[in-house]
């Protein structure tokens, strides 16, 4: 088995400001997401999803400049602890690309590793699936976590590391 390559690991050098929260306020919604680094050195993405004004999502994103060459990899591994809610992991191969490739996953409430094959990540734009090929895995310019479960709720997702295999 190939040894995982670290894409992002939360540690004493992690800076919360390098992660950007994008909520449904961009379309008039009222959801509120936040991002912080905990004293245990985990990324903490948390907040409340609101369905008011046609909203219902929150996301947190991290850009890689320059893009990361992932052409020798086929999967991403997420070590995280969710709250029992489902989330999405998204990637963009270039900063200019308008749509993302997404993979939805459940969480158990315990620390776990989510194994995502690149080939299982399908293209979406503004929540709509596109009729285009799935992610080819050549490069990653941005990663994101998104919650969009069609219900008002509080949420918390703790992130430890993101690896490539």
CATH value at residue 41: 2.60.120.430
Which tens digit of pLDDT belongs to each residue from 48-83? 999 999 899 999 999 999 999 999 999 999 999 999
The rounded Cα 134 to chain-centroid distance in angstroms is: 17
Domain that holds residue 62: 5-164
Pairwise CA distance, residues 45 & 47, whole Å: 7
Is the pTM here over 0.85, yes or no? yes
SS3 27: helix
Read out DSSP for 83-106? -SS-EEEEEESSTT-S-EEEEEE-
Tell the burial category of 17 from Cβ atoms under 10 Å away from its Cβ (0-12, 13-18, 19+).
exposed
State mean pLDDT over 143-157. 98
pLDDT band at 27 (very low <50, low <70, confident <90, very high): confident
Number of domains the chain is built from: 1
């Amino acid at each position: 088995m190939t040894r995982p390559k670290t894409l992002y690991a939360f540690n004493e050098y992690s800076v919360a400001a390098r992660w950007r929260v994008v909520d449904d306020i961009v379309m008039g919604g009222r959801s509120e997401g936040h991002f912080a680094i905990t004293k245990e050195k985990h990324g903490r993405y948390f907040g409340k999803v609101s369905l008011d004004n046609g909203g219902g999502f929150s996301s947190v994103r991290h850009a890689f400049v320059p893009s990361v060459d992932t052409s020798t990899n086929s999967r991403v591994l997420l070590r995280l602890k969710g709250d029992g809610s489902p989330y999405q992991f998204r990637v963009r191969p270039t900063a200019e690309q308008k749509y993302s490739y997404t993979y939805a996953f459940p969480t158990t409430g315990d620390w776990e590793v989510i194994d995502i094959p690149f080939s299982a990540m399908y293209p979406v734009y503004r929540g709509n699936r596109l009729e285009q090929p799935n992610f080819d895995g050549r490069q990653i310019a941005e990663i994101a976590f998104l919650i969009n479960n069609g219900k008002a709720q509080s949420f918390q997702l703790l992130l430890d590391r993101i690896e490539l295999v």
